[in-house]
Structure 1
Amino acid sequence: MLQAIDLTKRYEDGQLALDTLNLEIRPGEIFFLLGANGAGKTTTLNLFLNFITPTSGQALINGMEVRRFPLETKREVAYISENVMLYGDFTARENLEFFARLDGKKRVTKNDCYCFMRRVGLQEEAFEKRLKTFSKGMRQKVGLACVLMKETDNILMDEPTSGLDPKSASELMQILLHLRDEGKSILLCTHDLLRAKAVADRIGIMKEGRLVMLRTRDAFREDDLERIYLDYMQEAVL
């Protein structure tokens, strides 16, 4: 489970990037966090990952505060960024093996890697090819396989569908639905309204560091999500 309790971040230049965020993503839930660039989405992820320190408030993973238990909480969460940082001179399998060992898995077989790559839909002829020859969609699948191999309860994603073709984006959403059914807590930051409406259990809209809207699946499916989003983007934050 992921929790933010009055989570606030003000940078050294005075910018209030996140303003008293209160949020809970439960096991077996896909939560989409929407907002324009600079709304506070990536700051939220960075606080959960302990990449930056909050000004006040708490970020908790499975009940542990990230600041107090940085190593323990990192074992409980997996992260995939918009531009997946992998090693181009490694093959797909070698990338999985490398990151699995970084996560403390001492026994990782070739077949283990193959199983996870099949699960994310990477074509088998690519398993032993170097990543520098891959398209963005193929790299994203390798990154997702690395995330799955970590076998954590919580997954953070930052714009995972950016730059993907419709087929790859749809395949990614299907994988997320399977992960939700396995009881994972999934926080996904994105601009992708179409995917949000298709698979999210809840949706939040952020603006100027504040969570200005929070709706469940039933509520946002009855409404025009695009209109709601644009209305909130035009309104002033009080």
Structure 2
Amino acid sequence: MSALAIQSISIAFGGYRAVDGLSLTLQPGEVYALLGPNGAGKTTTLNMILGFVKPDSGSIVIDGVDAVTAPLAARARTAYLPETVMLHPSLSAIENLTYFALLAGRRIDAPMARQLLADAGLQEEAHDRRAGSFSKGMRQKVGVAIALAKDARLLLLDEPTSGLDAGAANDLSEVIRAASGRGIAVLMATHDLFRVKDVAHRLGILHAGRLVDERDAATIGPVELEQLYLQRLAA
């Protein structure tokens, strides 16, 4: 069973077609990078997958659940990391994790929370620190731990490397690989061509709401990818 199956989804706002006939499929453990500039339709696509907006046409199925007709059930199988992960600043990493896991219907104890945070790459000394002192990279790791606690089958990332330094971006890549190794499908919406080349199995280029190209990441180098990206956006 596919972790995510999108078939010919389209949506328009005020006559402007933000997403136009988009189809893509992710298998369990697959990392897919949806590349495109601002306004290409990446965030709108994520919002449709999450059930925040309903497509005008087409279908979205997450782990066998129709996300259009049963958005809450589909969302229960999905974890979402926005560009800025919002945590309760006065709570520790462990407290944030146990709280958000409880909201998702899972009760976890402190030892399990520590293990999940470690699996997500958060250093042990930060487990009991208040989240208000965390960097963006540290907040993302807590967000990934929340996804692991939720036992999500699909992880959505919106511009995950924006604002990260090289070290934090490398840490995020390791976390994505770990999630993939657990069988979690990962869909990254980004315009960071070079970072995603390190972690994605497949790459898709979204332009004006349409998927204009798709490649296996292993078959294309960074320079070729940049050239292809610029060519497709200029077409």
- TM interval, shorter chain, is over 0.9
Q: Percent same amino acid at aligned positions?
A: 42
CA deviation profile, 1:150-202 (whole Å, cap 9, x unmatched) = 11211111111111111111111112112222222111111111122112111
1:161 equivalent in structure 2: 161
Counterparts of 1:90-129 in structure 2, within 5 Å, are 90-106=91-107, 108-129=108-129
SS at match of 1:164: coil
Counterpart residue type for residue 148 of structure 2: L
Counterpart residue type for residue 141 of structure 2: K
Counterpart-to-counterpart distance in 1, 2:179 and 2:152: 11
Q: CA RMSD in A?
A: 1.4
Counterpart-to-counterpart distance in 1, 2:24 and 2:120: 29
Counterpart-to-counterpart distance in 1, 2:218 and 2:150: 32
SS at match of 2:88: coil
SS at match of 1:224: helix
SS at match of 2:172: helix
Counterpart residue type for residue 7 of structure 1: I
Counterparts of 1:195-234 in structure 2, within 5 Å, are 195-221=195-221, 224-234=224-234
Counterpart residue type for residue 193 of structure 2: L
SS at match of 2:197: helix
2:143 equivalent in structure 1: 143
Alignment of 1:4 onto 2:9: no
1:41 equivalent in structure 2: 42
Q: Which runs of 5+ in 2 are unaligned?
A: none
Counterpart-to-counterpart distance in 1, 2:177 and 2:123: 21
1:192 equivalent in structure 2: 192
Alignment of 1:16 onto 2:27: no
Q: TM-score, normalised by structure 2?
A: 0.95
2:64 equivalent in structure 1: 63
Q: TM-score, normalised by structure 1?
A: 0.93
Counterpart-to-counterpart distance in 1, 2:147 and 2:181: 16
Alignment of 1:174 onto 2:174: yes
CA deviation profile, 1:212-237 (whole Å, cap 9, x unmatched) = 001112332396111111111222xx
Counterpart-to-counterpart distance in 1, 2:9 and 2:89: 36
Bigger shift: residues 176-185 or 23-32: 176-185
2:73 equivalent in structure 1: 72
Alignment of 1:54 onto 2:64: no
Counterpart residue type for residue 126 of structure 2: A
Query: Structure 1 residues 203, 67: closer, same or farther in 2, change over 3 A?
Result: same
Counterpart-to-counterpart distance in 2, 1:217 and 1:136: 27
Counterpart-to-counterpart distance in 1, 2:131 and 2:19: 36
Give the aligned length. 233
Counterpart-to-counterpart distance in 2, 1:70 and 1:113: 27
Deviation at 1:130, TM superposition (A): 1.3
